[in-house]
Amino acid sequence: MYHAGGRVRQSPVEGLTPAPAADLPPLGELLAADPFWRYPARGLAREGAGHLRVRAPAAASAGYLAVVTETGGLISVTESAGRIRAGLARRYGPSLVLLEHDPAPGSGAGMEALDLVRVGADGSPHWSRVWPAPEENPRHAGLERWMAGYGHQIAGRPASWFDRGDGTNR
């Protein structure tokens, strides 16, 4: 990818496959909300900052849901996703579901993005897109239902914003 200043490294979350809606838990009570939460970053004595929300599981079989919103600091949530997930899993348990919320990704499209972060056995993070998901994708309808039911609790927008049916989320 290029811009006026030269080559820009492609983000590991560009062109993601949509996540299965079944991997997203029903949301329960808000347990933590910290708009200036500090998270561990690569390297010693480095931290990033983001807006953290943690919700209890609404179903006995589901895990906690943590959402970290990118706030534009020097160290991105994407760069630190593996460490963030590991730290939150120590506190809330291994079945924690982590979502990375980017209120306006650097893609130039000006759209919000919500991504499911999974961590492999080797500790490396892997992302799946939750929203926006392409309408032609078979997972779109399930993700749209989940976002219509819970998206307003994550992104602070009315539920109708997520089920416009015209493929936009602006």
Rounded CA separation 51/100 (Å): 10
**Average pLDDT estimate for 52-81:** 85
Could you state, in order of their start, the residue ranges of all structural domains in the chain?
A: 9-155
Tokens of 46: 């480095």
Question: What pLDDT is stored for residue 60 in this prediction?
Answer: 75
- Does the pLDDT of residue 115 top 80, yes or no? yes
- Mean per-residue pLDDT over the chain, rounded: 78
pLDDT digits (tens, 9 = 90+) for 58-68: 877 678 999 99
DSSP conformation letters of the chain: -EETTEE-PPPTTTTPPBPPGGGSPPEEEEEEEEEEEEEE-SSTT-EEEEEEEEEEESSTTPPPEEEEEE---SS-HHHHHHHHHHHHHHHH-TT-EEEEEESS-TTTT---EEEEEEE-TTS-EEEEEEES--TTSTTHHHHHHHHHHHHHHHHSS-GGGG--SSS---
- Does the pLDDT of residue 78 top 80, yes or no? yes
Q: pTM of the full predicted structure? A: 0.80
**Average pLDDT estimate for 21-46:** 85
Burial state string for 30-40 with b = 16 or more CB within 10 A and e = fewer than 16: eeeeeeebebb
- Does the pLDDT of residue 94 top 60, yes or no? yes
**Cβ contact 84:92 at 8 Å:** no
- Does the pLDDT of residue 160 top 80, yes or no? no
Rounded CA separation 80/87 (Å): 11
